[in-house]
Structure 1
Amino acid sequence: MTPDPAATDAPPPAGQGQPRLHIPPSPVLVAGLRRAVMLTPDGEIADLTLAQAAQRAKRERPILAHGPAVATRLKTDLFPCFDVLELFAFIRPATFCLPTVRGLAEAVGLERPESLEAEAAALIEVIRRLLREVATAHPREQGALRDLSWGMGQSGSWGWSASVLAALGVHGDAPHRANVAAGLRVWERLPETSEHAPEPPSGNKPITPEQARARLAALKGSAAEDRPQQADYTEAATDAFQPRDAENAPRVVLAEAGTGVGKTLGYIAPASVWAEENEGAVWIATYTRNLQRQLDAELDRLHPDRAEKSVKVVVRKGRENYLCLLNLEESITGATMQRNPRGAVALGLMARWALATRDGDMVGGDFPGWLVDILGRNQTLGLADRRGECVFSACAHYDKCFIERAVRRARRARIVVANHALVMVQAALGGLDERLMPTRYVFDEGHHVFDAADSAFSAHLTGMETAELRRWLLGAEGDTTRSRARGLKRRAEDLVADVEEAAEALTEALHAARVLPGPSWGMRIAEGSPHGQAEKFLALVRDQVYARVPDSRTPYSLETEATAPIPGLLEAAVALAERLERVEKPLKALAKALENRLDDEAADLDAAQRLRMESLIKSLERRAIMPLTAWRNMLGSLTEDTPEQFVDWFAVERIDGRDVDVGMHRHWIDPTVPFAKAVIEPAHGALITSATLRDGSGDAEADWAAAERRTGAAHLAVPAARAAVPSPFDYAARTRVLVVTDVRKDDMMRVASAYRELFLAANGGALGLFTAISRLRAVHERIAQAMDEASIPLHAQHVDGMDPATLVEIFRGEENACLLGTDAMRDGVDVPGRSLRLLVFDRVPWPRPDILHRARKAHFGGRSYDDMIARLRLKQAFGRLVRRGDDAGVFVLLDPMMPSRLLGAFPDGVEVRRVGLAEAVKEVRGFLR
């Protein structure tokens, strides 16, 4: 039945009774940028300063939305509260809402509150509506809610327990403890993943442009507007799906499609036709999670039936993105044994999500990102297999594993949506989880291929990396009650028990691994008392960095060349290389012994044993042997010369002026060389596409050559086909570009004033991009009050205590909000409509002049290389403004030193005007209103 909305907070009678609304007798707290309001249980509103609100919040355990964000806004530590987002996640698991009062209100069907006072009242109504859902839920669902909420509330740390139980009509009598345990053991209720026979290799039937165009028309539907540019793009993309004519000579197409062309459906059309005709898989790789979500949604057009889509389409990510059921079980056991109240709450919410999730993806899937902020990384993302400790078929949850389900589905799928990093790592290792390598790729957001390859093919001999390898090999050391690290022995001992040489190799490797940095290595290095050869080498690296940098007191990370080593460093490098070889050699022997067993016992091993051995061999190669080989090569270069294709340097990584890592780094000067060799060359065809592939230098051939260098196409034996389809948008009419000439970019007071006046002129809907976190924070501090007084919500990366993706979602959902972010956020912002109508860049986004960039600048052409990078960044940022045909916006650059040679970043026909701030404000106000 539906509970009485007028129910009071009086204690309910003991025993099972009628559902009642029980709202905690605490004040509701809503914090703005400069003031806060509290709504008392008696209905009185108190207008408070942030300091007053912080004092009362610590005493009164308020009701609020997003405790960490509110605490940050109040400039205080976290305090006990009733977070309505926790209630939402409990009642509506695997459902996203904006993590604000307005977002919660919209999620339950309320009108959007427009003041702090209205938000406070709305939050009470949100609670009422959520509790009514509990009261009217299916009896089976109510049983799960009852058991879990009682267990989460036993510690006293989850205040919503009493409210949920009251809505269920449970008063006084507690469920049996066994029921509570069953509520957390969600893996027992998950379906098993079925196994299928291996898929045959894909065919080589050609597809025609006519087939691709017909599929595009079917995807769009009869009512869709005609887009000649989209059809042209589809036809150009079709060439990537033709049979190749020679080995290592793939059909590669570089296709630039301006915003609005509709490239997603444009390449899904030929990709889906090829997949059907050849019974093979096309892997579509993106750089950002946002585009993965968009792709998944667009593929609903291809497969409207959800059951069919679940077979034909898979979103595939690295193992570190998925919930590990073994980690969840061990955490639940640990929390129960340690009687960890807050841990029990987090695990209860994770258990609710695990039963409701589509695929167990915690990064970009249906897992609300704000739960990480509220519950903490260890209790959320920390439950993934982020350290490569999977025991595969030895795991009790193997047949229900989310990761294994995704892997098996990907083997049978026709479209696999992945990310650049996974595709590159998989190709480099000859297959990470899948037995067959894809023959057809689409790299969307192709302008990021260079950056993704730079990350995938680099090597880092640092304290964190080496300590992580020790942990992977040895497992948890010291206080094992707080760690789920299992170590190589546990993962491998039953596989090598009957093979003497393998068992000996395992023992030898684990003994030698103690040369790697152990727990608390950072403290010992900082204090000058390193233990073991690895820590001694890292300590000397740190000494060289501190000796060579101009100013070691800076809060930013430090780096110096690896040349001219300080006394003792070369000797330490030689000694460490020898000790690392003692780790690497038995690991290779272990892998070889496992390979021999696979061969010798081929007729006797069952499928699960074979899969475990194959997976362990790959893990040994990827997680240990490859990095150990790379580290020894790096150490060897200190006594010789660094190979010309690499650049080496030493660095101390810092966060807010605190050392967090130290070590030696090696990157390819041109990372597209290994990308082309490992990924593109073995494939039969690849489409690399983006709205910003080409440079804007004004020289058409040079601009295409730049695209070929940035994507690796320049390293292929057969030249890539080129295609450029212009945007259908009328940028000249729909946009304005202004370069402000009278604001000194090094005067943060004036820079902040410019942001304030421009944001006010646009009445919100503004994105501010910064080249440094310190500049962002300085501007936020100076403009927050003005935004608050104008009732314009202001959000900021590195200030609000929220994940960047969550901030973007909030910004997208509030038409008049403003968002401040670093330059790195620009690609994650896809906000069509009026929510983004003004973009302000604090200065020209020149590349950071570090050691790696210096080497690349010398290799790729000097100043022209800097210009290209700056133009591409400006081009990408400008592309955020207009996402639909009816969008309009103004792009403002607060840098009087903007050189004219960078103006090619903007579309043809768009006039770039150099104006003073006053005129820019007037132009923004007039154009947008």
Structure 2
Amino acid sequence: MSDASRILLPHCPVLVTGARGAVALEPDGEFKRLSTPQAARYARNESPLVCHGPAVAAKLGLDDFIRLDILELFAFVRPARFCLPTPRGVAESLGLPRPADIEDEAEALLSATRRLLEELARATAAEKASKAVDTRGLAWMMARSGWGWGSPVLAALGVQGDAGRGGGAARVWERLPEWNEFAPEPPASSLPVEPAEARDRLAAMLGAGAEQRPSQADYASAVSQAFQPRDKEGAPRLVLAEAGTGTGKTLGYIAPASVWAEKNTAPVWISTHTRNLQRQLDFELDRLFPLPHDKARKVVIRKGRENYVCLLNFEEQLNRNRNQDAHALGLMARWVLATRDGDMVGGDFPGWLVDLLGRARTMGMADRRGECVFSACFHYRKCFIERAVRRARRADIVVANHALVMVQAALGGLDDGFMPTRTVFDEGHHVFDAADAAFSAHLTGLEAAELRRWLLGPEGEAASRSRARGLQRRAEDLVGHSEDCVRALEQALAAARALPGPGWLQRLGEGAAHGPSETFLALVRQQVYARAPHGDSPFSLETESRPPLPDLPLAAADLAQALGRLGAPLQVLMKSLASLLDDEAADLDSSTRSRIEGICRSIERRALLPLAGWKGMLDTLASPLPNPPPAQPGEGGPREAGGWGQYVDWLSVERMDGRDMDVGMHRHWVDPTIPFAKAVVEPSHGVVITSATLRDGSGDTEVDWRAAERRTGAAHLPGAALRAAMASPFDYPAQTKVLIVTDVRKDDMDQVGAAYRELFLASGGGGLGLFTAISRLRAVHKRIGGPLEDAGIPLLAQHVDNMDTSTLVDIFRAEEESCLLGTDAVRDGVDVPGRSLRLIVFDRVPWPRPDILHKARRAHFGGKSYDDMITRLRLKQAFGRLVRRAGDHGLFVLLDPMMPSRLFGAFPDGVVPVKVGLAEAVRMTTEFLARE
């Protein structure tokens, strides 16, 4: 049978949607123009071929509908490969002409379907010999379950009848290689990196014909000071380096980092703010290691365990396979066999696959609940996580993220107890917020119920459906060697029942709390509703913890005692297990030792550390409020909502659409850079904290540097940090304009929507709309989607389109005519060079949210000047998205007539904001972008 004769196109229409309607391409080749209501009925009745079904359903106002999604076919044919989840994106990834309009997009989906099926049919003889059993067996399994693509895929593979039947096709772990164990690495040397070495390495990476950037070489030279040997314990070489956009800071710090790693045979850790930025940095490292084989040995991407697919979870889901899950398991199996490193977040796992298959069938296969059984797992020797841990020990460069680095430092080491001696924190302006998240504590119903589930496993009806494993199941074969262990485990499991059980949230609402934790949470909820302003709001509520309700201190004391009764046997269990490593050292094999160490580490991190934090919070609430300390000079006293000291305590009810979702007590450091400096920076030998927006823009250079030192923890170290600042090479006064629109009422969403519409039309697309609230974003989206589509400008929107944020940004970057609406996640760290981003419109001045935590920090860090600093930094970050390379031009427009001039320092020197009316702003936008 020829390849062409095996192509069986599905006999169904193609449906492509827009803001005002849709186009259907019938099987006979006829086009139908449909209104949105007509398209919704058509989708329900015809089961069409679409691209990204959840996004199509959202545009049509449907919860769901039966369809064929071309992205599922793409994921089967090209696993672990990415395409933009749009008709244009699919067409371009397959080498098809770029569709010019919505009719072209419908035809492109049909052509793409044929091309993907032909790709399956054209498998080489070698591929057939090595992979055909897997591919055919998976296709047969998926087709048997009713997968819509089953028949076309089987036909393309040449499978007839039961010829493809193979029960082991989805047992992917059988075809994965094992990782290798190596002897422990020797400790790092302390050989310095000289500035000249950093410059030479930078020049080598750039190549002979590269554009000369003196500031980039100066930056590399300055950063090299962090790679000098330290002279005193607890006094690392710290460099604070601000590098304006366009300096080339990434290669600038990679140069000395790579030299140090080679000379000292130890890894340098580079930490970014987000997992998507890790992916961008991974691409940049191709300059250092152009050969894939070298890069695979020298560069490792490290993330938390919850980011990687767990083979045991995959196997258990396969064993529980229900018919409707078979196609998802098949697509996941195809990816597991093709993935580079098993990374499901920011790696080679397409984010849109989560949208298509659901989180339970995709991200649910990761170990997101800390239930790893380590060496007791049948797949331990093939585990992606364990492979990454071992590779990181021998790498030159390890690319991590702030959350992982800080959480692991707070816990005393990484998975294997390793702590790097040299770390670079890129996007250093996020260090404060990352430390705030890492070193905070939350005694909430969800957190406490999750600990109960981690200890006891699933209970009630969930027990028969869940793959979760309680502590007894994870450790029972180990504790049986010791009566002390058995007794301690039994006591701990009994005490865990004091934590919130299944249905706790409903019981709180009904006034039927059960046990000490639910009694405490019920009183917390009562106090929040009694004292929070606007208690009838559909949004989350919070209130100060002091003074507490009369019964709350006693409930806090009762819960603290219950937590003590849980923590004590867990301490015994952990110590008893650890003693086995000594008592039975001669008999324990290495895998059992590793497993004991892993379980002890899990008990400490998942249970004992949170319990200690919760008990401290409860003890504070149960005790009388102490007398306040004297005010600090110039600060007015570090007063906190929960009393006096270095913490802020408060109570909250998390709500969504008017429904309670969680209840609890929260504790944050007033200054989270104190624990960051102590746990992360002090133990290091050298640290670089760098960003394009490290300093404030108050106009006083020394004040701005001191602000950077407070925000990064440098102020809490014994020695002074080396300061370095490199100006951007861009000509901002020539390449940009900043406009402040004075005649649009920011509280009138019709006026705000009209402003966005006219400005986006004036720019012809390439507009990024930033919002301070999701409700404002949605209101504007509803008003401008249709008019923009009529003008040929696609509109993308975070919190509206059923796509993850990184996918939306990828589409926006690829399609120059599109516009994107978003909030904080697209304001910071998004890199969209070229004409795809030529206009930024901000709905209003991004002042800090005036919540309890900010109130305490405002009092501690300087009052109104603290508000101004945060706001300037946010505006700086937003403006920094506009020009990413030398040829970029664009406008930054703020729809807020109340923008004070003291915030103008957020913009580069020479860029003077101009206050204009909306009509003038539209005219200036048209003229400026037309000229450039």
Band of TM-score, shorter chain:
over 0.9
Q: How does 1:663-742 map to 2 (within 5 A)?
A: 663-742=664-743
Structure-1 separation of matches of 2:324 and 2:52: 16
Match of 2:291 among 305, 309, 316: 305
Residue 492 of structure 1 and its aligned partner are, at CA, apart by: 1.2
Structure-1 separation of matches of 2:327 and 2:766: 37
Match of 2:557 among 571, 574, 592: 574
Residue 174 of structure 1 and its aligned partner are, at CA, apart by: 4.5
Give the match for residue 628 of structure 2. Answer: none
1:77-97 deviation line (CA, Å, top 9, x unaligned): 111100000000010000000
1:550-598 deviation line (CA, Å, top 9, x unaligned): 2222121100000121232221111111101110011111111122221
Residue 643 of structure 1 and its aligned partner are, at CA, apart by: 5.3
Give the match for residue 181 of structure 2. Answer: 195
1:589-624 deviation line (CA, Å, top 9, x unaligned): 111112222122233322111111111111111100
1:815-839 deviation line (CA, Å, top 9, x unaligned): 0100000133211421001000000
1:366-390 deviation line (CA, Å, top 9, x unaligned): 0000001110011111110000000
Residue 434 of structure 1 and its aligned partner are, at CA, apart by: 2.7
Give the match for residue 455 of structure 1. Answer: 437
Structure-2 separation of matches of 1:744 and 1:927: 25
* Amino acid paired to 1:746: D
Residue 2 of structure 1 and its aligned partner are, at CA, apart by: 6.1
Alignment of 1:790 onto 2:791: yes
1:746-776 deviation line (CA, Å, top 9, x unaligned): 1111000000000000000000000000000
Structure-2 separation of matches of 1:888 and 1:312: 37
Give the match for residue 314 of structure 1. Answer: 300
Q: How does 1:743-754 map to 2 (within 5 A)?
A: 743-754=744-755
Structure-2 separation of matches of 1:787 and 1:526: 45
Contact 1:334–1:481 under 8 Å retained in 2: no
Match of 2:98 among 86, 106, 112: 112
Give the match for residue 611 of structure 1. Answer: 594
* Amino acid paired to 1:462: T
1:232-265 deviation line (CA, Å, top 9, x unaligned): 0000000000000001000000000000000000
Structure-2 separation of matches of 1:47 and 1:902: 50
Structure-1 separation of matches of 2:248 and 2:324: 47
Structure-1 separation of matches of 2:282 and 2:810: 17
* Amino acid paired to 1:51: P
Q: How does 1:270-289 map to 2 (within 5 A)?
A: 270-289=256-275
Residue 508 of structure 1 and its aligned partner are, at CA, apart by: 0.6
1:335-385 deviation line (CA, Å, top 9, x unaligned): 1xxxx2331111111000000000000000000000011100111111100
Give the match for residue 502 of structure 1. Answer: 485
Alignment of 1:205 onto 2:198: no
Query: Secondary structure at the residue paired with 1:170?
Result: coil
Alignment of 1:358 onto 2:340: yes
Give the match for residue 864 of structure 2. Answer: 863
* Amino acid paired to 1:567: P
Query: Secondary structure at the residue paired with 1:737?
Result: strand
Contact 1:432–1:618 under 8 Å retained in 2: no
Give the match for residue 435 of structure 1. Answer: 417
Structure 1: gaps spanning 5 or more residues: 5-18
Give the match for residue 34 of structure 2. Answer: 48
1:283-312 deviation line (CA, Å, top 9, x unaligned): 100002232112111112222222222121
Alignment of 1:557 onto 2:540: yes
Contact 1:28–1:39 under 8 Å retained in 2: yes
Contact 1:461–1:663 under 8 Å retained in 2: yes
Match of 1:393 among 365, 375, 386: 375
Give the match for residue 144 of structure 1. Answer: 134
Query: Secondary structure at the residue paired with 1:366?
Result: coil
Q: How does 1:446-845 map to 2 (within 5 A)?
A: 446-478=428-460, 479-640=462-623, 641=625, 642=643, 644-845=645-846
Query: Secondary structure at the residue paired with 1:885?
Result: coil
Q: Which is worse superposed, 136-145 or 735-744?
A: 136-145
Give the match for residue 159 of structure 1. Answer: 148
Query: Secondary structure at the residue paired with 1:667?
Result: strand
Give the match for residue 886 of structure 2. Answer: 885
* Amino acid paired to 2:615: R
Structure-1 separation of matches of 2:117 and 2:754: 46
Q: If the length of structure 1 is used for normalisation, what is the TM-score?
A: 0.97
* Amino acid paired to 1:521: W
Question: What is the total number of aligned residue pairs between the two structures?
Answer: 907
Structure-1 separation of matches of 2:769 and 2:148: 39
1:774-824 deviation line (CA, Å, top 9, x unaligned): 000000001111111111000101111110111001101100100000133
Structure-1 separation of matches of 2:484 and 2:131: 53
Contact 2:9–2:113 under 8 Å retained in 1: yes
Q: Percent identity?
A: 67
Structure-1 separation of matches of 2:863 and 2:443: 29
Q: If the length of structure 2 is used for normalisation, what is the TM-score?
A: 0.96
Give the match for residue 16 of structure 1. Answer: none
Structure-1 separation of matches of 2:912 and 2:680: 41
Structure 2: gaps spanning 5 or more residues: 626-642
Give the match for residue 160 of structure 2. Answer: 171
1:31-80 deviation line (CA, Å, top 9, x unaligned): 00111011111111110011111111111110000000000000011111
Match of 2:318 among 314, 332, 335: 332
Structure-2 separation of matches of 1:513 and 1:558: 29
Contact 2:904–2:912 under 8 Å retained in 1: no
Contact 1:411–1:434 under 8 Å retained in 2: no
- Tell me the C-alpha RMSD between the 2 structures: 1.1
Contact 1:2–1:136 under 8 Å retained in 2: no
Contact 1:27–1:60 under 8 Å retained in 2: yes
Give the match for residue 15 of structure 1. Answer: none
1:878-911 deviation line (CA, Å, top 9, x unaligned): 0000000001110000000000000000000112
Structure-1 separation of matches of 2:51 and 2:747: 37
Give the match for residue 71 of structure 1. Answer: 57
Structure-2 separation of matches of 1:603 and 1:213: 52
1:528-551 deviation line (CA, Å, top 9, x unaligned): 111211111111111111111122
Structure-2 separation of matches of 1:193 and 1:171: 38
Contact 1:290–1:828 under 8 Å retained in 2: no
Structure-2 separation of matches of 1:674 and 1:911: 39
Structure-1 separation of matches of 2:238 and 2:91: 49
Give the match for residue 107 of structure 2. Answer: 121
Match of 1:262 among 223, 237, 248: 248
Structure-2 separation of matches of 1:737 and 1:693: 21
1:417-452 deviation line (CA, Å, top 9, x unaligned): 000111111112221313331100000000000000
Residue 171 of structure 1 and its aligned partner are, at CA, apart by: 3.0
Structure 1 117/2 Cα, relative in aligned 2: closer, same or farther at 3 Å?
A: farther
Contact 1:2–1:132 under 8 Å retained in 2: no
Give the match for residue 7 of structure 1. Answer: none
Query: Secondary structure at the residue paired with 1:182?
Result: coil
1:714-766 deviation line (CA, Å, top 9, x unaligned): 00001110000000011111001001011111111100000000000000000
Query: Secondary structure at the residue paired with 2:168?
Result: helix
Match of 2:217 among 215, 231, 255: 231
Give the match for residue 367 of structure 1. Answer: 349
Contact 2:479–2:485 under 8 Å retained in 1: yes
Structure-1 separation of matches of 2:210 and 2:403: 35
Structure-2 separation of matches of 1:2 and 1:57: 34
Query: Secondary structure at the residue paired with 1:687?
Result: strand
Structure-1 separation of matches of 2:75 and 2:464: 28
Structure-2 separation of matches of 1:834 and 1:141: 43
Match of 1:411 among 393, 398, 423: 393
Give the match for residue 632 of structure 2. Answer: none
